[in-house]
Amino acid sequence: MNAVVATQEPQQPTQQMRRVPETAAEADYALQQRKAMAYSKSSLVPAAYQNNVPNVLIAMEIAARIGASDLMVMQNLYIVHGRPSWSATFLIATVNACGRFESMQFEVVGDDPTKDDYRVRAYAKHKSSGEVCRGAWITWAMVKGEGWNKKTGSKWLTMPEQMFMYRAATFWARAYAPEVAMGINTSDEVEDIQVNVVGAVRRAPLESLESRLLGNEQPQAELPPPADSDGVMLTVATVMERLQAAGDRDALDDAYELSRQLTVSDDDRKALFTAYEKRADELDA
């Protein structure tokens, strides 16, 4: 007699049968996802985070690293031209709240923020060592050389005093509290950088494009090296000499302006800027 084998229909997964996190890391990630989902459904978070769980998770990760609240980071981390960026006021507030420094202050030289001799730098006193940490001077030579004031509707033209302080604070944070900014630019920096990037784009003529596609492109003539108004060829060494020999602020700013014509490495650019700052301090002493 053949035995009758009872068959059992496969059970459908139930809520109780679903896989649960096996490790603490998985359990923590699941919790973060649930929190991010809740944040993304709120109308109080900025539009960049509404119904966007991945953006919320990134903001939560940044908040955990700098010791800030999730909502505070989302309200102060903007997306400008597709890039995340801090508000300058948040960066200043975070430095003041980090506990390592006394409140950030600003040193201002000049009475009129529209004049070429106006400059600002940020400083703060280190609580444990008592050292006064001073940032880089922000000058009109720098503003014009970097093209920060060339954008239509630029705030450098309408509210220069505030922009000088914002940029000075950003430079200070880059030097003395980089963990606060985490390598993220401020929103006004991103706006200024975008101007430079767009301004640097050059479109070749149609004939040149056609030649390249057909493989008939002619070698371009080598560009002459940069030179000053007297025809003297500019190099890192010659510009460095002018920076170190500058007898006043105008001569120093003119020498630094010449450095903008050079195509140099990051190390050389940093060395030139350091020489500029050193000579500026000597002239101000």
pLDDT tens digits, 46-60: 888 899 998 899 888
At 38 the pLDDT is 93
pLDDT in tens, 254-276: 787 777 777 777 778 878 888 88
At 3 the pLDDT is 54
At 174 the pLDDT is 83
SS3 string, 253-278, reads HHHHHHHCCCCCCHHHHHHHHHHHHH
Q: Which among 50, 21, 25 is positioned nearest to 36, based on CA atoms?
A: 50
> Residues with Cβ < 8 Å from 251, sequence gap 6 or more?
242
- Cα 243 to the chain's mean position, in Å? 27
- Please name the helix (run of DSSP H) or strand (run of DSSP E) that holds residue 109, with its range, or none: strand 105-109
pTM of the model: 0.54
At 19 the pLDDT is 56
C-alpha to C-alpha distance for 107 and 125, rounded to whole angstroms: 13
At 118 the pLDDT is 95
Q: Which residues in the chain come in under a pLDDT of 70?
A: 1-22, 80-82, 183, 185, 189-231
Whose tokens are 């059992």? That residue is: 8
At 42 the pLDDT is 92
At 121 the pLDDT is 94
* Partners of 233 in the β-ladder: 227
DSSP 112-138: -TTSTT-EEEEEEEBTTT--EEE-PPE
